[in-house]
């Protein structure tokens, strides 16, 4: 039950689109010796957050598998660091104007050109333009690793993507696994 509240704010980020990429940035305390960390645990999220239990379970499993593959163990008894998540989303609108309109003018329109008839051009050209509008949700996940003794932030990853679910449970699991791999690729940082 404790795991269900750990990543409630991150669920929407997990619906990574097939056509957009995940943008990941990270930062860390360069004075910290990351080789001393062996165990971790989760910090609880606010209780009023809604959770998609299936995606939540996929995300927690992906994080735990990734960290286990790097030699870290989850432990609720005196862990070396804690994992906290912060999530936000915002509605975005992209407006693009495409196409141009060319019309006669004094220079290129044939009227001011020196020999318009000789080159087969004696008038203007007009093409219809257009505008496209694309609405989407941009999800942002901040994954913080905090030293349990000093209570100081030691590592942070920020990931952004357009929110969209996968078409099947298998594809959703694969998207989550790929996202977690990309997010945790820089952890632990090298010396």
Of residues 32 and 91, the one with the higher pLDDT is: 32
Rounded Cα distance, 44 and 155, in Å = 18
Per-residue pLDDT tens over the stretch 140-187: 778 899 999 999 999 999 988 887 777 788 988 888 888 899 999 999
- Predicted confidence at residue 27, as pLDDT, reads 95
> What residue ranges define each of the domains in the chain, with the CATH number in brackets?
2-91+136-183 (3.30.160.670)
- Predicted confidence at residue 187, as pLDDT, reads 95
Per-residue pLDDT tens over the stretch 97-134: 766 555 555 444 444 455 555 555 555 555 556 777 77
- Predicted confidence at residue 4, as pLDDT, reads 38
Q: What is the largest CA-CA distance in the chain?
A: 89
Q: Kindly tell me if the per-residue pLDDT of 7 is higher than 50.
A: no
CB 9 within 8 A of CB 85: yes
Per-residue pLDDT tens over the stretch 16-69: 333 358 899 999 999 999 999 999 999 987 665 555 778 778 888 999 999 999
Of residues 35 and 88, the one with the higher pLDDT is: 35
Q: What are phi and psi of 38, to 5 degrees?
A: -130, -30
Helices marked H in the chain — which ranges? Answer: 2-6, 53-69, 169-183
- Predicted confidence at residue 78, as pLDDT, reads 94
């Amino acid at each position: 039950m404790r795991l269900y509240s750990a990543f409630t704010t991150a669920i929407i980020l997990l619906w990574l689109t097939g056509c957009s990429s995940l943008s990941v940035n990270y930062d860390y305390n360069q004075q910290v010796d990351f080789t001393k960390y062996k165990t971790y645990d989760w910090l609880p999220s606010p209780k009023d957050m809604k959770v998609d239990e299936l995606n939540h379970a996929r995300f927690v499993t992906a994080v735990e598998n990734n960290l286990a593959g790097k030699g870290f163990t989850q432990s609720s008894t005196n862990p070396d660091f804690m994992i906290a998540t912060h999530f936000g989303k915002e509605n975005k609108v992209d407006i693009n104007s495409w196409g141009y309109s060319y019309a006669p003018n004094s220079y290129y329109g044939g009227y001011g050109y020196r020999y318009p008839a000789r080159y087969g051009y004696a008038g203007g050209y007009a093409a219809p333009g257009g505008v496209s509008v694309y609405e989407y949700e941009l999800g942002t996940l901040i994954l913080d690793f905090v030293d349990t003794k000093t209570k100081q932030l030691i590592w942070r990853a920020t990931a952004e993507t357009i929110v969209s679910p996968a078409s099947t449970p298998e594809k959703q699991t694969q998207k989550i696994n790929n996202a977690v791999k990309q997010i945790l690729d820089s952890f632990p940082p090298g010396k």
